[in-house]
Amino acid sequence: MRPVIGIPCQAEFRSGSNRPIYGNNRTYVHAVENAGGLPILIPMLTNLHHLEDLLPRLDGILFSGGIDLQPELYGELRHPATDEGDPQLDEFEVAVANWALQEDIPILGVCRGMQLLNVILGGTLYQDIATQRLNALEHCRRDMPRTALTHAIQVEEGSIMEQVLGTRQVQVNSLHHQAVKEPGKGVYLSGLAEDGLAELLEVPEHRFLLAIQGHPEEIYSQVEPFARLFEAFVQACANIPVPEKVVIPMRLTPASL
């Protein structure tokens, strides 16, 4: 039986009609499905306590890319280049992430998802790489196709990511203007770009918590190490029993672990 993997939705507006909808990119769904999982999109419920009936049925969580987190979550004032953000989305994803951390459920974070996990664990972010990090590469390459490989990642020797990816160096796409600054509690930055910015994250004490700043869901079919990443995530989800009942910790501040 395929493990059920939840992917939180975000609030969007349908092109043309401007109708409010919940959704996420299809590439996340297909990446999980192709790796052997059963992806389920989780809507932003108006009452987060209703998640208590849904989350125990999941075997894993994938946190996707998206808009900037509110800098208040990591104790900073908003930088002029930081998006306005979505407080409802932040509250929703923080609640889901805190549950997954509490229950030791496998987690994979992508782009915003990596930043979210670091912040929940007490870390901080560069709100705008171009203005806050000297001599940084141009990481926000939204002028290029989402599948364009723009720079290399050096994977730390002996890391979980090295074991999963099967390599010490891999090419990646790059669509972000923010990045991990100070790592959170228990966070190990297991892959760096050529300019020293964090590209891979893991929490060894968690059963499976890996995150990547790039977008492997767009390139797993052309970059084999990222196919391995999704396969390892799905396999971890398949081996973990589902808890019977949980109470969702409603916290907007980083979890105390």
Give the active site residues: 111, 215, 217
The single-letter DSSP state of residue 76 is -
Tell me the longest C-alpha to C-alpha distance in the chain: 51
**Contact in structure between 216 and 226 (CB atoms under 8 Å):** yes
Structure token pair of residue 235: 């396999």
CA distance 224 to 113: 21
Whole-number Å distance between alpha carbons of 4 and 101: 17
Q: Estimate the share of the chain in helix, then strand, then coil, as percent rounded to the nearest 5.
A: 30, 20, 50
Beta bridge partners of 148: none
Cα–Cα distances in angstroms (integers) from residue 205 to residues 14, 64, 104, 183, in the given order: 41, 22, 10, 15
- DSSP class of residue 175 equals B
The three-class DSSP label of residue 113 is helix
